[in-house]
Every structure is written in structure tokens, then in C-alpha cells.
Amino acid sequence: MPTKKALRYRDAGVDIDEADRALASIKKFARATFTPGVVADIGSFGAAFQLGGYRRPVLVSSADGVGTKLKIAFLTGRHDTVGEDLVNHCVNDIAVQGAQPLFFLDYFASGKLEAHVAAAVVSGIARGCRANGCALIGGETAEMPGMYQDGEYDVAGFIVGAAERGELLTGATIRAGDALIALPSSGLHTNGYSLARKLLLEVAGYGPNTVLPQVGATVADALLATHRSYLRAIRVLAKAKLLKGAAHITGGGITDNTPRMLPKGLAALIETSAWRIPPLFEELRRIGNIPEDDYRRTLNLGIGMIFAVPAKSVARAEAVLEKAGERPIRVGQVITQKRGRARVEYR
């Protein structure tokens, strides 16, 4: 039977006024990231960007999220870093193909929109965009009652970058004998959180404020450490004509991601003694007695990026990275894949 009571959108769970408050904050953060290529303000039906400065441009795009790392943000009420995680993850994914990020769009969805939470998330997105020279030019803020638990949301990012066709990093020139140089991660980055949460919060019974003595941080601080950007390191190596290929170590770890830059018939030989696995990862292994293969495929184990460089130039490549403030680790070399063997071998 039709109701005689007047119903508004707010009565169905969608608050347009709260959305307007969120949008006002978002516009402020986004405008602070604008670069000369931006030709339309936030609020248009579509975002516009003028591409210039390229002779034979190739657009490189990616979309991603931050997975169940969001659960830690919900648990702690700390929402200002996951947006930066999102941007840096997306930037790394296109940077390993030789692209310079141009612009970024975000998608933020919740069951009940809280303007201050959305603003905190977007503040992190804007901070990441500014740091990477990338313009935040649009996005979507959706309020969908019944789709998410109270106090929870999801966020995704979409990035577009560009590279000269002749400067794309395809890995095609990688050869057996080339050196593999790694750069440290800043923590779990955005992968392995379902396992990490289960082990730390359920199996070990720790709370977010429990101090992990081996790590020197609370559980919350350790798990919310920001996924770092490797854009500058990639660019300085590429400018020096030393970079043959790059692999962003995300879900799948070194085992699954390193082969993504290698031509068919080649494999990576990784020297496990080349670096010390950070205490956080070792604590997770201790708590869960994680099998070695799972350990290497679920977590980055302290390595966030691997470069392939000519063996004869490895010392120069390390010097270039050190000058850029990095701590390069010589982790192995490219080898010919043996019949029936994996594309990553550990020694």
C-alpha cells in the first residue's frame, strides 16, 4: 500500500548535503594537485587533460585498490594514509613500464557517507599525487546504503601516464647475465593484509596499540606504513640509460612479479642472503609457521622494486641510486631458464 508520508532521499539512507560537504573538501585537495595539462575544474561530467611535450606518446594506464589494508584504517580510525598508498601503488605500476604519471581519478564508496572520512582519504590521495607530479582531476563519491558495513568504505584508483614510444620499458633487451638490483619496501605495502590481520589480531591476539618490540612500532603503525613510490628511482636510472626492466613487487611477491619483466626463456636467480628480511615479516612467519613458498608469494619480504641492469654497469647503477637517496641491494642475476624449472630460483 502506498505510504502517505513524504519520503526524501535522506530517508532511504542517502544524504546529499553530506555529499556536498565532502565534495567541497575534495575540490580543495584536488585543485592543489593541478598541473598545466588540466583543462577542466572538478565537478564537470568528465575530466579533461591536454597532453603535450611528446613526439610519439604512448598512454599507459592502471587501476587498483589497497585491499584489506582498509580494515586496519577502519579499526584505528586513521584514514589519511590509505589514499597515498593507492596513488603510489598505481604510480609504480605504470612507472615500471617507463611512463610518467599524468592524472589520477579515484572512486570512494560507502554505505553511509561521512564527509570527514572521505576528506581524510582524499587528502592522502592528493598528497600522493603532488609528490608524484600527478594531477587529481576527477573521481566518484558514492553513498550506497546496505552495500557496506557501518563505518566501512572502499576506495579504488585509476591512473594514466605517458611515455615516448621508444622509451617504454618492455624488458625486451634483458639478457642472461644482467644484474638484479632491488630497493627496500617500507612494510607490507598493500599486499598480504588478510594473512597479516589474521595472524596478528586473531592468532596472536594483539591489539592495534600492541607494541611489537622486534619491529619497534605498534601493530597499527607497522601495518599502516605507507606504500612507497619508486618513480624517482626509476626515472634517474632510465635517464642514465642503465635500466633494462623493472618489476613492482606486489601481490605474488618476488616469485610472481620478477618474471613479468623478463623475456621468454629467462629466469631470475635470487640470492636470499643479499638482504635481511625485516622483523615484521619474520614475526608473521613465526606466528603462523608460514610455509616458505607461501611466505615468498604472499609478502614482499622487504623488497618493493627490482631492476634489471647490465652486469658491466651495476656499480654505476648503484651509485646513481645512492645519489638519489636510495639503498640499492644487489639481489641476484638473470639466468637462462632451465627446462622444467621455475622462472625464479632462490639460492
**For 9-167, CATH number?**
3.30.1330.10
Q: What is the pTM of this model?
A: 0.91
- Same fold: 9-167 with 179-346: no
Specify the pLDDT at position 15: 64
Q: How would you classify residue 64: left for phi > 0, otherwise alpha for psi between -120 and 50, otherwise beta? A: beta
Residue 208 has pLDDT above 80, yes or no: yes
Closest CA to 90 of 51, 52, 61, 130: 61
Query: Which element (helix H / strand E) includes 288?
Result: helix 279-288
Kindly report the number of other CB atoms within 10 A of residue 315's CB atom: 11
CB contact at 8 A, 99 and 162: yes
Checking DSSP bridges between strand 153-164 and strand 57-65, what pairing results, if any? Answer: antiparallel
Residue 31 has pLDDT above 90, yes or no: no
Dist CA 60 CA 97 (whole Å): 8
Arithmetic mean of pLDDT, 220-231: 97
Pick the CATH number of 179-346 from 3.40.50.10330, 3.90.650.10, 3.60.15.10, 3.90.79.10: 3.90.650.10
pLDDT tens-digit readout, 151-174: 999 999 999 999 999 999 999 999
Q: What ranges do the domains of the chain cover?
A: 9-167, 179-346
Residue 1 has pLDDT above 60, yes or no: no
Specify the pLDDT at position 252: 93
Residue 37 has pLDDT above 60, yes or no: yes
Residue 38 has pLDDT above 60, yes or no: yes
Specify the pLDDT at position 13: 59
Query: Which element (helix H / strand E) includes 127?
Result: helix 115-131
Dist CA 171 CA 262 (whole Å): 6
Specify the pLDDT at position 16: 62
Distances (CA, A) of 124 to 64, 91, 186, 330: 15, 14, 17, 32
Arithmetic mean of pLDDT, 207-236: 96
To the nearest whole number, what is the mean pLDDT of the chain?
A: 92
